């Protein structure tokens, strides 16, 4: 029930201000029982026994997309860009530090996973992990999930062909298809509802390594040799200090990344192959739908065209690497895309495991490509039809980022 006295609060505060009272400078006698509500910008220089910092969610603190109201020329600021997002992030990190260091005895940090019913879920602020020295995950229980995060019971009871889905042709990425084939509910949570997931060190490591290798292959594509310092600089430029278990863990993984790039450069020096495409986009028609993606690299070899996908995994057994390549739906999609564009599949597809320095190759066959088409068609049909029932099992649920909020994972 609403408190009728609330309507009198604002006029009372205005009267106090008009009378010369400063709410930010309470009398010494009143400090013990006073609650001060202030913005982080006003916190500088103040100290309190207990501090609550609310709204520590990614996109809120640090805020996303904030620009200066008045942009200054770079020559005056001494910075590369007045609207540089890294600069804004650094400034908000300083504000966060100011806020948390105001507490003498007790500090409370909080954020709302769902700010409002049906709203977009938010993950914890990356500043929390930096301040606490550990990964911070959203504390969600199945009973706390908003109704907006569940398919309607009526829809779930319908057969797939009658469920509400996507009208017209579907355009999907391979990652979306892969998530759907892993578990339709996982796809729905990640790509339809867009529930954020906490950063993971494996993704940070894999992305930075991928960008560095792409930079090296781009030089080969231009007819220039790989420069090792460029590989290392690219790795560090795309490195993010998020998701690691500790500072020592992050340092060890960064060292492992540099070592993997050294082995990659050594392999190129020993057996150079002509690179004819890097990060080249493609699209494959699957019935009325289409799946889009990018080739990591395309090599022209004496045996013919080889399409390579780079993985950061530490696979060291050549037999296992070859089996992974034979079973890879992603590589089969690459072969289908090449066949669609050039009239015939590539001579081979390959997985290059960078940390283990092992390459597994497979030859596309008609049987494998037909099976891939069926799998891809199964996924796109289910996505269009709105079939998002979970398929729980081991070990998929153990590795799923939504296991803490998905009742089926129990």
So what's the pLDDT on residue 151?
Answer: 43
Q: What is the DSSP string of 109-175?
A: E---SSSSTTPPP-PBPHHHHHHHTS-------GGGS-GGGS--HHHHHS-GGGS----S--EEEHH
Dihedral sign, Cα of residue 314, residue 316, residue 317, residue 321: positive
So what's the pLDDT on residue 103?
Answer: 80
So what's the pLDDT on residue 137?
Answer: 61
Q: Which of 75, 104, 132 is the last residue of a domain?
A: 132
Three-class secondary structure of residue 362 per DSSP: strand
Q: What pairing do the DSSP bridges indicate for beta strands 103-109 and 48-53?
A: parallel
Cβ-based neighbours of 367, under 8 Å, separated by 6 or more: none
Same domain, 55 and 101: yes
Q: What is the DSSP string of 315-340?
A: ---HHHHHHHHHH-HHHHHHHHHHHH
So what's the pLDDT on residue 58?
Answer: 79
Q: How many domains does the chain have?
A: 2
For residue 204, how many other CB atoms are within 10 A of its CB?
21
**Residue 95 resides in a domain:** yes
Distance CA 217, CA 52 (A): 49
Helix (H) or strand (E) run with residue 97 in it:
helix 85-100
So what's the pLDDT on residue 44?
Answer: 60
**pLDDT per position in the chain (410 positions), as tens?**
455 555 666 677 777 677 666 655 545 444 556 777 877 766 665 677 788 888 888 777 777 655 555 555 666 655 555 456 666 778 888 888 788 888 877 888 887 766 655 456 677 888 877 777 666 665 544 344 333 334 443 344 334 433 445 557 889 999 999 999 999 999 999 999 888 888 889 999 999 999 999 999 999 999 999 999 999 999 999 999 999 999 999 999 999 999 999 999 999 998 878 999 999 999 999 988 999 999 999 999 999 999 999 999 888 999 999 999 999 999 999 999 999 999 999 999 999 999 999 999 999 999 999 999 999 999 999 998 899 999 988 888 888 989 888 888 87
**Residue 211 resides in a domain:** no
Q: What pairing do the DSSP bridges indicate for beta strands 171-173 and 274-286?
A: unpaired
Same domain, 102 and 171: no
pTM of the model: 0.61
**Residue 227 resides in a domain:** no
Same domain, 159 and 109: no
Distance CA 214, CA 221 (A): 10
Distance CA 106, CA 102 (A): 10
Distance CA 160, CA 389 (A): 10
Question: Which CATH number goes with the domain that contains 119?
Answer: 3.40.50.300
> Where are any strands of DSSP class E within 99-193?
103-109, 171-173
Same domain, 189 and 99: no
Same domain, 38 and 177: no
In the chain, what is the straight-line distance between the N-terminal and C-terminal CA atoms, in Å? 37
Distance CA 407, CA 163 (A): 21
CA 388 to chain centre: 22
The answer to whether 136 and 255 have CB atoms below 8 angstroms apart is no
Helix (H) or strand (E) run with residue 380 in it:
helix 366-385
So what's the pLDDT on residue 52?
Answer: 86
Domain that holds residue 313: 151-197+273-410
Enter the DSSP assignment of 79: S
**Residue 245 resides in a domain:** no
So what's the pLDDT on residue 207?
Answer: 95
């Amino acid at each position: 029930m609403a408190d009728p006295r609330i309507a009198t609060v604002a006029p009372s505060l205005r009267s106090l201000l008009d009378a010369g009272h400063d709410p930010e400078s309470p009398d010494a006698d009143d400090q013990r029982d006073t609650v001060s509500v202030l913005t982080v910008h006003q916190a500088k220089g103040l100290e309190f026994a207990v501090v609550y910092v609310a709204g520590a969610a990614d996109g809120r603190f640090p805020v996303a997309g904030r620009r200066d109201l008045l942009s200054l020329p770079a020559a005056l600021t001494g910075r590369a860009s007045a609207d540089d997002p890294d600069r804004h992030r650094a400034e908000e990190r300083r504000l966060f530090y100011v806020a948390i260091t105001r507490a003498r005895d007790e500090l409370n940090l909080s954020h709302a996973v769902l700010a409002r019913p049906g709203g977009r879920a938010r993950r914890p602020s990356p500043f929390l992990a930096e301040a606490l020295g550990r990964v911070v995950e959203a504390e969600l229980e199945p009973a706390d999930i908003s109704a907006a995060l569940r398919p309607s019971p009526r829809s779930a009871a319908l057969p797939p062909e009658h469920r509400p889905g996507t009208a017209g042709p579907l355009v999907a990425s391979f990652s979306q298809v892969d998530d759907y084939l892993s578990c339709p509910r996982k796809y729905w949570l990640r790509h339809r509802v867009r529930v954020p997931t906490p950063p993971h060190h494996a993704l940070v490591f894999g992305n930075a390594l991928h960008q560095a290798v792409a930079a090296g292959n781009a030089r080969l594509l231009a007819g220039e040799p790989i420069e090792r310092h460029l590989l290392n600089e690219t790795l560090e430029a795309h490195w993010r200090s998020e998701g690691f278990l500790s500072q020592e863990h992050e340092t060890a993984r960064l060292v492992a990344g540099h070592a993997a790039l050294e082995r990659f450069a050594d392999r190129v020096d020993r057996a150079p192959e002509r690179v004819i495409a890097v990060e080249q986009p493609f699209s494959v028609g699957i019935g009325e739908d289409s799946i889009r993606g990018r080739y990591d690299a395309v090599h022209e070899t004496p045996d013919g065209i080889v399409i390579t996908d780079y993985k950061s995994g530490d696979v060291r057994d050549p037999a296992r690497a070859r089996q992974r390549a034979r079973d890879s739906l992603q590589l089969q999609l690459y072969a289908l895309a090449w066949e669609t564009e050039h009239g015939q599949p590539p001579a081979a597809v390959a997985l290059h495991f960078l940390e283990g320095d092992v390459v597994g190759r497979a030859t596309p066959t008609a049987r494998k490509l037909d099976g891939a088409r069926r799998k891809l068609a199964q996924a796109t049909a289910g996505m269009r039809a709105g079939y998002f029932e979970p398929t729980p099992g081991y070990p998929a649920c153990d590795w799923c980022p939504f296991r803490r909020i998905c009742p089926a994972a129990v």
